[in-house]
Each structure stands twice: as structure tokens, then as C-alpha cells.
């Protein structure tokens, strides 16, 4: 396969690629939610370029110094990347092509392949400037497709042409979609000279052109929205007649058990019947019939900590997630999607919206609103209330003295309060100040681990968890907080799986939670998951992170035993992550049946919607999934979702994954029309 792909590359080189730009310094800025959070400077020469890239947002961000050498056609033949990744882990990545051989070394892997001509390399830690290099190479390639080292291929598609600005200052750019590397494509802007202008989202833009970001974001939203609407039209299966789902075993979250073979009937968006298979009447002629082949019907799963995107909607449906709690987003974008989700023009789970509210500091996260004063924060609370948000989410840089009045205003307006524990505060204080739940198990545990003077606006809120291994869960400090949670009925949005990813990530290794799906996804994401996000300087530090994560699992079990409601959650958008979260609950010692109840009926009870959702009963909304196997016996069977139904509309994960260029995991169930 490699030689065949490299021969395509040879053809493209024969056609002549666009070479490097004439000598110039290209300057870009990085934008998040309208604010500058970083820079990129590329010093471009005839056959080389050096790039300086740095981002600081939410107390973290990648930093890279790149040196690239090109051949006469503009293909990279030498490429070095030095710096640090998102959470500060050291980066030293190398790629070379010479004498018919491509070699690379990265955090994820090292290797070599034969290549008679230079071949594109999908770097782990490249700056966005390399998007322009990729586009140049692909524009002259047959079918705008080229092979990649280490594996896979990269594809390019022209999306539309734009003119930014007016008159003499007008800038024509072309929007290209670059795909094949990661789970979602990139939309890249190229100017009339063939040089990188930025990304369509406006997160990277040429210096001096920042005024175009709002217009670009509008176009980006239009393109993504149209693609999502096209996907819904392609993937949604609607039924005009009742649907009879036969040969299934129904999971009952009230008893936490699976029953005998049953038939479940759905009409429009409601469940109209649940009856034993034995003695069930034949399906009336003309009705739709789905054969569950002995699988398990489970109420739709919940991710209680998500950050919605149009692509995450599809990933969630494919994983059986039918409801999410959005814990902070770009407000206008999220509000713009609601009509499409509610009217069925967009595919996705039901979304409960929380309003993101941050304080101003050098470490501020750029989502939602950043309040410069208490009056501003209270005004932002009212803005969210007027638009029907369910809760306010408070973040790291919020002034601890403002939490109580913010919470009081939210409660006055019938909203709840959740969030991180702001820096220099404590779990006990935010609970007393009015929190209804705490976001992230580490935000809870850090109150027992760190000194109150330590600054959790930095990556310390993650790296500090290496100290958790020695934590005594019977200590007064821990039990005082737990008693307060019991007394005030405070829930915990756990996101244990994201801590596993951060604390146990090791260069070149596949984590236990990623192994079941990783070979099915694009090469860029495979390599991204095989890297370390924390810095490991010694065997002791490695051991500390392992013991720290083991303590996370102990805390999960302790809280469940104490009656504290756990909210299964991820802070991730792949869908695979929620399934791992459930596996971790079971690994912690919570039974599979209880875990499934927490992810279904208990989550809906927390939302106050248990009368219409959360279990498979006549009269409730038809939100459930068909699983191959019995997840009450083996929780990992929850990964084998064959069908997801939301409001009576069926989606087959195999079709969604094929649409997303991911190898499917389980075949759709047989469907027919009764005669």
C-alpha cells in the first residue's frame, strides 16, 4: 500500500507543486471568543521557514519553535518542532526525508517508511502554519489527495471563495476543507498568492485582518450548519407507522436489571407499548419492524459535562448519548443551533444549557462571558436567565467573594449553579455559597490536597492530582466536605475519564480506555492519543500519577456509598469518552446496573424530567439505544451500540461512523415492513 500511495505522490510532483513563498515574514494572531490569546510568526525563505507559535488561554496552551526545510517543489524534507504541548509536556518532534526514506520521531511514536519522493508528514505538534503547506501540496495532487507518513491519506476540497473587506482593501480568499488527519476536518483560508491567510473559524488570522473575524465566523457557522443539516437528512430514519422493536431485553433502571425478551412499540416520538415477547401479537401489515436479535434496550445515555459542537452531536449519537448538559460554549453559536435541534433539521442529543461565567485574570478562559465586576457578573446571569439557561457555570478566575451574590441571583431567577472551585476558594465554601453541584472530581479533591494559597487557575488544577495518592479519605477534612454534600444534596459532575487520559497518558502507549476504538479512527487522532500530556521526569512521578488516579476511583466509590449523586460526564466530544466513564465507575466498584441507572434515569431525575424520560415505559419519549449484549453483566458491552433513537427518530451508529470516516463497531439491526 505504501508504494502505491507514494507513486501518486510522484505523479503530483511531476505535475509541479506550488513552491515556497518568496522571502517574507508572515505574522498571525490567535483569537478566542474575540480576544487575542496568542501569536504565530513565520520567517519564510526560498527553501526554508522558521515558525514561532505560542498560545495562552485558560492558563494553558501550546508553544512551538519549528524549522522546516523544503525541496524545490515546496515539499518538507526536514522538519523539527521544539516546545511544549497544551498542558506543558515537552515536545521534541523530528521528520526527515532523504534517499528514498522518510523517518520521524514524536511523542507518540517513531518509525520509517520507504518513499521514492518526499511524502507529507502528519505531525503531532505542528503549528497551524503547516496547514498552508499541506494545502499547497494537495492542490496539485491527483484528486487533491496524497499519502501520509506514518499512514493514511490527506484530502483537500474547495468549499467557497470569499472577499474580505471592500474597495482597495478587499482581500480575495479561498476556503478549503482539509480532511483525513483528525476526527473533524479543518477549514483553511488561502489568499490569492497561494499563502495561508488563516482558519475559517477565525481562531488564526493574519495580523492586521482581525476585523474580519466576526464575518469569517459567520461564514464558518453557515458552512458547518449546512454540512450538519445534510448529515441529518442522510442519517436520520423516520417512521410514519408504529415501529415494533422485537426480540429485545429491556434494562429497567429502577430495578437495575434486564428482563426477558420483549417487544417495544414506538409511534412518532413516544413509547406506546412494552410487552413480553411470548404471546405478543404479530406485527400488523405495513408496520415497521426492527429485530433486536436478543440485544438490550437501554434508556439513552447522558453526558453531564459536554461542550456542544455540530460534530460532537454525531459522535454522541453514535455512542448512544441522547442527552447532554452543555457546560459552557460560544453563546451565539449554541443558541443558533437550538431551532435546528428542536425541529429535527439537525441530528443530536437533547441539550440542557449552562451559562459559562468567568472572572477576569491573565488565566481567563474565553467562553461565554468574562466579568470585570460583580455588577457585570449579575448582568450576565440575567442574560442567561432571559434565554432559558438551566444553570450558571462559574469558572477558575471568578472572585470568590462574588460567588454568593451570583448564586443568589441565579437562584432568584430559578437557575442552578455549578462550576469549578475558583482559585483560592474551597469546595466547602462554594457549597455554602450556593453551588448545586461541582464540576470535575479533581476540583473537589484539590480542596483536600492543595494548600489554599496555591493557584488553580494554572495547570496545577490537573498536575496537582499527582499528590492524591496519599490522601486519607477518612480524614476530617475529607469527611467534613462529604457531610456537607450529603446535607445540601450536592451532586458531582465527575469527568473521571478525562483525568485518566491526563494522568496516565504516556508517550507511545495506548491507554486502556482508548484501545477498543483507536484503530478505527484517523491516523492523526490515533497518534494524538498515544502521547503524554503531563511531564514525567522520574519513576517516582510516574508512580505518583498512577496512585493519584487510583485514589480518584476510591473517591468515586466512597461518594456513591455515601449517597452523593454522581453525574457521569466527560468534558470531551468523541462519544467514546462517555463509554469509558461508565467503565471507570464499574472499575471503581460501582455495579454495572447502578452505573447505567446513574447515566439514565438518575440524570433525568436531576434535570426534573423523569416523568417523560430516563426509562423505557409506555407514554415516555422514545429515547433509547439498542446494545449488542448485556451491559449489566459486562459494562463494556455498552460500546456495541447498534441503534440510537431520539424522540422516535432512529440513527444507526455504523452509518454515522462511515459518514465520519471511522470504521464501524456494530452492524445495524435488521429492519423490515410487516406483510
Structure confidence at residue 15 (pLDDT):
34
Give 48-89 pLDDT, tens digit per residue. Answer: 999 999 999 888 889 999 999 999 888 999 999 999 988 888
pLDDT surpasses 70 at 9: no
Q: Is residue 287 part of a domain?
A: no
Dist. CA 110–CA 104, nearest whole Å: 5
Q: How many domains does the chain have?
A: 2
The residue from 207, 229, 255 where one domain ends is 207
Q: Are 19 and 129 found together in one domain? A: yes
Dist. CA 629–CA 293, nearest whole Å: 10
Structure confidence at residue 274 (pLDDT):
96
Q: Is residue 244 part of a domain?
A: no
Residue 627 burial class via C-beta count within 10 angstroms: exposed 0-12, middle 13-18, buried 19 and up? buried
Dist. CA 653–CA 668, nearest whole Å: 7
Q: Is residue 241 part of a domain?
A: no
C-alpha to C-alpha distances, 433 to 364, 425, 578, nearest whole angstrom? 22, 11, 30
- In percent, the amount of the chain with pLDDT more than 70 equals 97
pLDDT surpasses 60 at 18: no
Q: Are 349 and 203 found together in one domain? A: no
Structure confidence at residue 22 (pLDDT):
59
Structure confidence at residue 16 (pLDDT):
36
Q: Are 546 and 397 found together in one domain? A: yes
Q: Are 347 and 452 found together in one domain? A: yes
Give 494-534 pLDDT, tens digit per residue. Answer: 999 999 999 999 999 999 999 999 999 999 999 999 988 88
Q: Is residue 272 part of a domain?
A: no
Give the pLDDT band of residue 366 (cuts 50, 70, 90): confident
Dist. CA 620–CA 565, nearest whole Å: 23
Structure confidence at residue 80 (pLDDT):
96
| Average pLDDT score over the chain | 93
The dihedral formed by the CA atoms of 489, 492, 493 and 497, expressed in degrees to the nearest 10: -150
Q: Are 191 and 327 found together in one domain? A: no
CATH number of the domain at 480, please: 3.20.20.140
Q: Is the pTM of this model over 0.85?
A: yes
Q: Is residue 197 part of a domain?
A: yes
Contact 179, 163 (CB under 8 A): no
Contact 107, 531 (CB under 8 A): yes
The residue from 595, 613, 631 where one domain ends is 613
Give the pLDDT band of residue 98 (cuts 50, 70, 90): very high
pLDDT surpasses 90 at 455: yes
Phi, psi for residue 194 in degrees, rounded to 5: 85, 15
Dist. CA 220–CA 408, nearest whole Å: 38
Q: Are 306 and 182 found together in one domain? A: no
Q: Is residue 120 part of a domain?
A: yes
Angle at 271 between CA 266 and CA 274, to 5 degrees: 95
Q: How many residues does the chain have?
A: 675
pLDDT surpasses 70 at 41: yes
Beta bridge partners of 22: none
Q: Is residue 238 part of a domain?
A: no
User: H or E segment at 578?
Assistant: helix 576-587
Task: Point out the least confidently predicted range of 82-91, 371-380, 402-411.
Answer: 82-91
Structure confidence at residue 163 (pLDDT):
94
- Domain with 183 in it: 2-207
Most confidently modeled of 113-122, 333-342, 378-387? 378-387
Q: Is residue 261 part of a domain?
A: no
Dist. CA 350–CA 296, nearest whole Å: 22
Q: Are 599 and 492 found together in one domain? A: yes
Contact 308, 324 (CB under 8 A): yes
Amino acid at each position: 500500500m505504501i508504494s502505491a500511495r507514494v507513486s501518486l505522490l510522484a505523479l503530483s510532483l511531476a505535475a509541479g507543486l506550488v513552491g515556497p513563498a518568496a522571502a517574507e515574514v508572515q505574522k498571525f494572531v490567535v483569537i478566542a471568543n474575540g480576544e487575542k490569546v496568542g501569536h504565530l510568526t513565520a520567517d519564510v525563505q526560498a527553501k526554508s521557514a522558521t515558525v514561532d507559535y505560542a498560545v495562552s488561554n485558560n492558563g494553558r496552551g501550546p508553544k512551538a519553535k519549528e524549522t522546516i526545510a523544503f525541496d524545490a517543489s515546496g515539499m518538507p524534507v526536514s522538519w523539527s518542532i521544539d516546545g511544549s504541548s497544551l498542558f506543558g509536556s515537552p515536545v521534541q518532534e523530528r521528520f526527515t526525508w532523504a534517499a528514498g526514506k522518510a523517518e520521524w520521531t514524536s511523542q507518540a511514536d517513531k518509525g520509517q517508511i520507504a518513499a521514492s519522493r518526499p511524502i507529507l508528514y502528519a505531525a503531532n505538534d505542528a503549528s497551524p502554519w503547516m496547514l498552508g503547506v499541506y494545502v499547497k501540496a494537495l492542490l496539485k495532487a491527483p484528486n487533491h489527495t496524497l499519502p501520509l507518513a506514518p499512514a493514511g491519506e490527506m484530502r483537500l476540497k474547495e468549499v467557497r471563495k470569499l472577499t474580505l473587506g471592500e474597495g482597495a482593501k478587499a482581500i480575495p480568499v479561498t476556503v478549503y476543507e482539509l480532511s483525513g488527519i483528525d476526527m473533524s476536518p479543518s477549514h483553511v483560508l488561502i489568499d490569492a498568492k497561494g499563502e495561508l491567510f488563516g482558519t475559517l473559524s477565525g481562531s488564526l488570522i493574519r495580523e492586521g485582518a482581525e476585523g474580519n473575524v466576526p464575518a469569517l465566523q459567520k461564514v464558518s457557522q453557515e458552512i458547518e450548519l449546512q454540512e450538519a443539516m445534510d448529515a441529518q437528512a442522510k442519517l436520520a430514519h423516520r417512521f410514519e407507522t408504529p415501529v415494533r422493536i422485537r426480540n429485545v431485553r429491556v434494562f429497567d433502571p429502577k430495578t437495575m436489571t434486564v428482563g426477558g425478551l420483549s417487544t417495544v412499540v414506538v409511534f412518532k416520538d413516544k413509547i406506546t407499548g412494552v410487552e413480553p415477547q411470548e404471546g405478543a401479537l404479530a406485527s400488523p401489515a405495513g408496520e415497521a419492524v426492527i429485530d433486536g436479535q436478543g440485544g438490550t434496550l437501554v434508556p439513552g445515555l447522558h453526558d453531564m459535562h459536554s461542550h456542544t459542537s455540530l460534530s460532537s452531536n454525531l459522535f454522541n449519537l453514535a455512542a448512544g448519548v441522547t442527552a447532554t448538559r452543555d457546560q459552557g460554549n460560544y453563546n451565539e453559536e449554541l443558541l443558533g443551533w437550538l431551532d435546528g435541534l428542536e425541529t429535527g433539521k439537525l441530528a443530536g442529543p437533547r441539550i440542557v444549557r449552562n451559562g459559562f461565567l468567568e472572572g477576569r485574570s491573565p488565566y481567563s478562559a474565553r467562553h461565554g462571558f468574562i466579568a470585570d465586576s460583580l455588577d457585570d457578573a449579575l448582568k450576565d446571569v440575567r442574560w442567561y436567565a432571559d434565554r432559558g439557561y438551566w444553570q450558571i457555570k462559574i469558572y477558575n478566575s471568578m472572585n470568590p467573594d462574588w460567588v454568593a451574590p451570583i448564586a443568589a441571583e441565579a437562584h432568584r431567577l430559578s437557575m442552578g449553579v455549578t462550576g469549578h472551585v475558583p482559585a483560592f476558594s474551597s469546595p466547602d465554601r462554594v457549597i455554602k455559597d450556593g453551588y448545586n453541584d461541582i464540576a470535575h472530581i479533581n476540583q473537589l479533591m484539590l480542596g483536600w490536597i492543595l494548600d489554599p494559597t496555591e493557584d488553580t487557575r494554572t495547570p496545577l488544577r490537573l498536575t496537582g492530582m499527582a499528590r492524591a495518592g496519599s490522601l486519607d479519605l477518612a480524614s476530617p477534612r475529607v469527611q467534613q466536605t462529604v457531610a456537607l454534600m450529603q446535607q445540601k444534596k450536592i451532586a458531582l459532575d465527575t469527568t473521571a475519564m478525562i483525568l485518566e487520559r491526563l494522568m496516565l497518558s504516556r508517550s507511545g502507549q495506548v491507554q486502556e480506555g482508548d484501545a477498543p476504538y483507536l484503530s478505527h479512527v484517523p491516523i492523526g487522532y490515533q497518534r494524538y492519543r498515544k502521547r503524554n500530556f503531563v511531564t514525567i521526569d522520574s519513576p517516582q512521578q510516574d508512580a505518583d500519577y498512577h496512585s493519584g488516579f487510583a485514589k480518584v476511583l476510591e473517591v468515586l466509590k466512597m461518594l456513591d456509598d455515601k449517597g452523593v449523586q454522581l453525574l457521569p460526564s466527560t468534558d470531551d466530544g468523541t462519544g467514546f469518552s462517555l463509554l469509558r466513564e461508565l467503565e471507570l465507575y464499574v472499575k471503581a466498584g460501582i455495579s454495572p446496573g447502578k452505573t447505567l441507572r446513574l447515566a439514565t434515569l438518575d440524570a433525568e431525575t436531576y434535570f426534573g424530567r423523569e416523568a417523560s424520560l430516563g426509562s423505557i415505559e409506555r407514554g415516555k419519549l422514545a429515547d433509547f439505544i439498542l446494545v449488542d449484549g448485556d451491559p449489566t453483566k459486562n459494562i463494556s458491552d455498552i460500546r456495541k451500540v447498534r441503534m440510537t433513537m431520539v424522540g422516535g427518530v432512529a440513527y444507526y451508529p455504523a452509518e454515522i461512523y462511515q459518514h465520519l470516516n471511522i470504521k464501524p463497531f456494530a452492524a445495524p439491526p435488521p429492519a423490515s415492513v410487516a406483510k
